[in-house]
């Protein structure tokens, strides 16, 4: 016989899911940042191989290795229904030296964990691209080799 949950028990299950969705969304941001870091390192290594005297590329690699590089990062903005994942770039224009929002990478439904490609700054595209509740999809998306910082994994499969 199936177990029937009380209203309080149902609320607890929903609350737990919403906490996991936020945790997974944070992990996605970390994976996107790691993917960008690996992309950047690969690009700089190619530059060093092509030009052994490339001081700029070597300095950039040194900054990454010692943790002082100002690489692209991703942050979460919480809305009514969605977590908005926003890409941020380090801005040195006019000596600002701060991270500034670039664009919306994706939207994650707060209640279900469904990931949507961004249609605009304010709204997601129509179709669900991944569902973080599905273990196989979550493992795929949270792997930095798959979730690309440029968002290619969000196009329809």
Distance, CA of 82 to CA of 88 (rounded, Å) = 18
Cβ atoms 141, 135 nearer than 8 A: no
Percentage of residues of the chain with pLDDT beyond 70 = 89
Percentage of residues of the chain with pLDDT beyond 90 = 60
Tokens of 110: 């707060």
Record the pTM.
0.85
Distance, CA of 136 to CA of 104 (rounded, Å) = 25
pLDDT tens digits, 125-148: 999 999 999 999 999 999 999 999
For 87, what's the count of Cα atoms within 13 Å in the CB-facing half-sphere? 20
What is the average pLDDT score of the chain? 89
């Amino acid at each position: 016989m199936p177990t029937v949950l009380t209203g309080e028990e149902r609320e607890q299950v929903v609350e737990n899911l919403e906490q996991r969705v936020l945790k997974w969304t944070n992990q996605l941001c970390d994976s996107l940042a790691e993917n960008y870091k690996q992309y950047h390192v690969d690009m700089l290594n190619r530059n060093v191989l092509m030009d052994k005297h490339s001081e700029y590329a070597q300095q950039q690699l040194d900054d990454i290795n010692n943790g002082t590089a100002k690489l692209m990062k991703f942050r979460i903005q919480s809305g009514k229904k969605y977590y908005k994942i926003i890409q941020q770039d380090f801005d040195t224009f006019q000596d600002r030296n701060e991270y500034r929002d670039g664009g919306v990478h994706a939207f994650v439904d707060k209640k279900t964990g469904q990931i949507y490609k961004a249609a605009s700054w304010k709204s997601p595209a129509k179709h669900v691209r991944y569902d973080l509740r599905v273990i196989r999809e979550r493992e795929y998306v949270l792997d930095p080799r798959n979730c690309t910082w440029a968002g290619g994994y969000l196009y329809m499969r």
